[in-house]
């Protein structure tokens, strides 16, 4: 493998040959025109167009709206770089000159920035192909936010139709003083499951509860009892979040409804803890329904959206080493695993190592103005991903290209 310093030099050379203005325009255009999961037709077309102009063989419509670009450049390793296409149903409140022009939709998770990084890296590596050998595969993945995009691409033949990777790389923008990079060897993102619960009671008149089985009260007991599951059945060392995100029941003041519906989200970092909590949720829901005398068993369905994201420690260390060279020794941190989730890991065929990292993007003035004395206090107060105020600093545009290019070159540079 080539020395980190040589890879860093080469990465800087290739990246500095890009036109920064042109990439900034691309970013602003994507930000103005956000599209939600599996509807990223315009966004996918823009990425595909840039890849084609840069000399990639491009397939569109992979797993719905996914884009795959392949650049074969002599014998050598196969490296996949991934970005995500989708925006969120959020009404933008940043007041930016290039704010969303689509009502109720916003690039509030920074996937527009991810695609700009991806396009920039693809172009820099294509223009500099004389300096490396191997195959570069650029993956524009749809629907990361709803957890279906990576699986849809795999079902559509991602692993059979394109060269099999030796390594995969992905990166995500996150709050924090702009320009830092967080690398975590091993587990970096949590698993996420969505659960839907239906409590079947017996409806009736609000004045005669004795003739009903009130599903509102039963569902309320379920919500509170689940807090005790976390407090009393999970060890202090195990990270778990269980959120009741929806509670729907009833139509009118004086009607006891016949059913109540709950929507839960579970985040875990250990498959054994996940199984344990899922079993406890089932037991709690069924037990409360039995205690209330529900005439029909409750329905509980689990949709597993995201697996754990577990970096290959060796691969991640080699990428972190080159990132220290390109960004500066003090710019690379380990924030530790996040409770957030990703479907990036599903893109990797079984056993193929991957590395995923975060780049911080809070504008310097916003960071300075945030109340608090330490990093954590400030982090809790600056606009984060999914906030209507989330506005990454444009200064992170070229650094994000550089981190992707240098990661790819750790494997491709000859
Ligand atoms: Zn997101
Ligand atoms: Zn995201």
Q: Which residues surround ligand 2, an ion (CB under 5 A)?
A: 109
- Give 1's pLDDT tier (boundaries 50, 70, 90): low
Cα–Cα distance measured from residue 338 to residue 85, given in angstroms and rounded to the nearest whole number = 22
The ligand placed nearest to the CA atom of residue 170 is 2
Closest CA to 411 of 169, 170, 188: 169
CATH number of 191-306: 3.30.70.360
H-helix or E-strand spanning residue 302: strand 299-306
Q: How many helices and strands (H and E) does the chain possess?
A: 12, 16
| The CATH number of domain 4-189+308-412 is 3.40.50.1220 | no
Same CATH topology for 4-189+308-412 and 191-306? no
305: confidence class by pLDDT, cuts 50, 70, 90: confident
- Cα–Cα dist 124/78, whole Å: 17
Note the pLDDT of residue 2.
Answer: 67
If you measure from the C-alpha of residue 38 to the centroid of ligand 2, how many angstroms do you get, rounded to a whole number? 15
Q: How far is the CA of 128 from the centre of ligand 2 (A)?
A: 29
Higher pLDDT, 85 or 1: 85
Where in the chain are the domains? 4-189+308-412, 191-306
CA of 136 to the centre of ligand 1 (A): 26
Q: Which ligand minimizes its atom distance to the CA of 141? A: 2
- pTM score: 0.92
Q: What is the pLDDT of residues 325-369, one digit of tens each?
A: 999 999 999 999 999 999 999 999 999 999 999 999 999 999 999
Contact predicate 203/257, CB 8 Å: yes
Q: What are phi and psi of 177, to 5 degrees?
A: -55, 125
CA distances from 233 to 221, 227, 268, 278, 279 (A): 17, 10, 14, 12, 11
Ligand that lies nearest to the alpha carbon of residue 84, given by its number in the listed order: 2
pLDDT digits (tens, 9 = 90+) for 218-276: 999 999 999 999 999 999 999 999 999 999 999 999 999 999 999 999 999 999 999 99
Query: Taking ligand 1, which is a single-atom ion, which protein residues have CB atoms under 5 Å away?
Result: 109
CA of 385 to the centre of ligand 1 (A): 6
Enzyme catalytic residues: 84, 145
Rounded to the nearest whole angstrom, what is the distance from the C-alpha of residue 299 to the centroid of ligand 2?
31
Compute the distance from residue 93 Cα to the ligand 1 centre, in Å: 17
Task: Calculate the CA 127 to chain-centre distance.
Answer: 29
Tokens representing 334 are 């380990």
């Amino acid at each position: 493998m080539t020395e980190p310093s040589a890879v860093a030099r080469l990465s800087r050379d290739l990246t500095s040959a890009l036109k920064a203005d042109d990439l900034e325009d691309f970013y602003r255009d994507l930000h103005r025109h956000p599209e939600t999961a599996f509807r990223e037709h315009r966004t996918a077309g823009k990425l595909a167009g840039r890849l084609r102009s840069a000399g990639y063989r491009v397939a569109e419509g992979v797993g719905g709206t996914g884009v795959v670009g392949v650049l074969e450049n002599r014998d050598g390793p196969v490296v996949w770089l991934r970005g995500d296409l989708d925006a969120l149903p959020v009404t933008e409140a940043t007041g930016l000159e290039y704010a969303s022009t689509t009502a109720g939709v916003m690039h509030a998770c920074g996937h527009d920035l991810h695609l700009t990084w991806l396009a920039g890296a693809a172009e820099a590596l294509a223009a500099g192909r004389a300096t490396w050998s191997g195959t570069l595969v650029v993956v524009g993945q749809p629907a990361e936010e709803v957890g279906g995009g990576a699986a849809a691409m795999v079902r559509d033949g991602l692993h059979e139709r394109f060269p099999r990777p030796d390594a995969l790389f992905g990166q995500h923008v996150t709050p924090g003083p702009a320009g830092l990079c967080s690398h975590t060897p091993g587990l970096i993102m949590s698993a996420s499951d969505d659960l839907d619960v239906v409590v079947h009671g017996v409806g009736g008149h609000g004045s005669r509860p004795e003739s009903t089985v009130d599903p509102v009260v039963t569902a309320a007991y379920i919500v509170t009892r689940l807090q005790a599951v976390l407090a009393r059945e999970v060890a202090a060392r195990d990270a778990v979040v269980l959120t009741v995100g929806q509670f729907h029941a009833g139509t009118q003041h004086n009607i006891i409804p016949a059913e109540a519906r709950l929507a839960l989200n579970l985040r875990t970092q250990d498959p054994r803890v996940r199984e344990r909590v899922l079993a406890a949720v089932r037991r709690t829901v069924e037990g409360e329904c039995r205690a209330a005398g529900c005439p029909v068993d409750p329905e509980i369905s689990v949709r597993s959206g995201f697996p754990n994201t577990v970096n290959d420690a060796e691969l991640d260390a080699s990428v972190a080493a080159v990132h220290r060279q390109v960004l500066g020794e003090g710019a690379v941190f380990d924030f530790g695993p996040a409770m957030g989730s990703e479907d990036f890991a599903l893109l990797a065929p079984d056993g193929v190592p991957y590395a995923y990292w975060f780049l911080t993007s809070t504008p310097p003035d916003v960071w300075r103005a945030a109340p608090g004395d330490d990093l954590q206090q400030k982090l809790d107060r600056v606009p984060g991903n999914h906030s209507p105020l989330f506005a990454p600093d444009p200064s992170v545009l070229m650094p994000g290209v550089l981190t992707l290019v240098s990661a790819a070159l750790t494997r491709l540079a000859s």
